[in-house]
Amino acid sequence: MPNRIIEEAFPVGTLKIAALDSLKEFGESVNQILAETRKGYAGTKKAEFFPGYITDNYLVDLDTPRFGTGESKGIIHESVRGADLFLLMDPVNASNLYKINGEDTFTSPDDNYQDVKRIIAASNGKASRINLIMPFLYEGRRDIRRNFESLDCSIALQELIEMGVENIITFDAHEPRVVNSIPINGFDNFNTAFQFVEKVLEYDKELLVNGDSLMAVSPDENGMPRAVYYANVLGINMGMFYKRKDYTTTVDGLHPVIAHEFLGNDPAGKTVLIVDDLITSGEPILETARELKKRNAKKIYMCVTYGLFSEGLEAFDKAYEEGILDQLFTTNLTYISDELVSRPYYTKVDLSRYVALIINTLNHDTSINEIVDPVKKIHEIIKDRQ
């Protein structure tokens, strides 16, 4: 019965959330929202028939301790037998330290990925269903084979399915077609456009959503589908930059960029949403902002799902001081440092309520169509701004 509503549906199993250290704070927030939501079901048959349906804590007590050599193991300190288990992990959270031979070492994506496999192994054969919420896909940028290269993301997805994971949930995947590596298994790629539009409108209460005032721009050709989506849903124009390269030479293994060329309508006098899935060094998106300012864009709002900032915040601080960057929006689906939160140009887009809704919906085995496609909700919040 795919079209049942949650109020009428029974859960497929007792809900348990295994939030690994890489996404622990976010998991605690999701847990709190779920606990508050389910209190509204008090007195219903499912609350009566399912022990633990209404509780203050859905989080599983788990640990991934390490030996002095850096080896580790996954431990679950409570029963998950018969549970509908949702694991939460962030492969790119490097903030947690562990010791190898007495020296502090940052957790790498490989470390975080191995940890989630350990917890899957610890729960397998006990939980009735295992679901993995991995917002930033592990090795998600390894999506194209050039010469003799490994396709790590595809290998990882196949490995997770073989270990017993039934559903893999991600957000704004760098290459959504990676689902082709597990075509007959559960893989959901959720869109964050509604949350970004909502937060931008909340931040800029004077912003009008129309073709004369607002524009969506992609920093490169790979992000074109994202910019096109924003443009179509919001009813605005879009543009993109592409890099003109010198293919006659290589520098540090790469062809040097000669110029950033712009394709699209004139951004002069408009607020521009630069939409992208991730920031690492920040060089491409900052160069995009500079070029748009040269073309007399009024304001620059960067809407980026994952702010990794692998080379720090200095370049963004400088861009803000120079008036190139007006506001930066990123989600909390990956680790956010206190340093970033303290910046005057930063606004967090909180996705914990969204993830709680997804978990609650999947736990009841009800339709996620309206969650996957947020167009109606976006149109509702922009109707008074057009």
**Token pair belonging to 248:** 């006659």
Is the pLDDT at 2 greater than 60? The verdict is no
Q: What average pLDDT does range 140-146 have in this prediction?
A: 78
- Give SS3 for 284: helix
How far, in Å, are 16, 276, 335, 336 from residue 340 at the CA level? 31, 18, 10, 7
Report how far residue 159's alpha carbon sits from residue 139's, in angstroms, rounded to the nearest whole number. 13
- Confidence at residue 1, expressed as pLDDT on a 0 to 100 scale: 35
For residues 24 and 63, the answer to whether their CB atoms sit within 8 Å is no
**In the predicted structure, residue 354 carries a pLDDT above the cut 80:** yes
The pTM for the full model equals 0.93
Strands 129-133 and 165-171: parallel
Q: What is the DSSP letter of 219?
A: S
Inter-residue contact 136 to 100 (CB < 8 Å): no
How many beta carbons lie within 10 A of that of residue 250, not counting itself? Answer: 10
Count the alpha carbons within 13 Å of 197 in the hemisphere toward its beta carbon: 28
Please report the pLDDT score of residue 4 as a whole number. 62
Question: 146 phi and psi, to 5 degrees?
Answer: -120, 120
Q: How many beta carbons lie within 10 A of that of residue 338, not counting itself?
A: 6
Q: Is the pLDDT of residue 43 over 70?
A: yes
pLDDT above 80 (res 134): yes
Distance of alpha carbon 102 from its chain centroid, rounded?
34
Which residues of 101-201 form beta strands (DSSP E)?
A: 103-106, 129-133, 165-171, 186-190
Q: What is the mean pLDDT of residues 118-124?
A: 95
Q: What is the mean pLDDT of residues 193-217?
A: 97
Tokens of 63: 């640990």
Q: Which domains does the chain have, with CATH numbers?
A: 6-190+352-371 (3.40.50.2020), 193-349 (3.40.50.2020)
Q: Identify the burial level of 116 via C-beta atoms within 10 angstroms of its C-beta, where 0-12 means exposed, 13-18 middle and 19 or more buried.
A: buried
Give, in order, the Cα–Cα distances in Å from 301 to each of 87, 131, 315.
Answer: 32, 34, 16
In the block, tokens 């390490």 appear at 66
pLDDT digits (tens, 9 = 90+) for 228-287: 999 999 999 999 998 888 888 888 777 787 877 899 999 999 999 999 999 999 998 999
Residue that is written with structure tokens 């040269």 in the block? 294
Residue 137 φ/ψ, nearest 5 degrees: -65, 130
Give the H/E segment covering residue 119: helix 109-123
Paired tokens of 307: 């702010």
**pLDDT higher than 50, residue 302:** yes
Q: What gap in Å lies between CA 235 and CA 239, rounded to an integer?
A: 13
Given its phi and psi angles, is residue 101 left (phi above 0), alpha (psi -120 to 50 degrees) or beta?
Answer: left
* Stretch 213-221: mean pLDDT: 95
Calculate mean pLDDT across residues 336-359.
97
**62, two tokens:** 């788990």
- Alpha-carbon distance of 327 to 319, in angstroms, equals 11
Residues in the chain: 386
* DSSP β-bridge partners for residue 84: 15, 129
Q: What is the pLDDT of residue 143?
A: 67
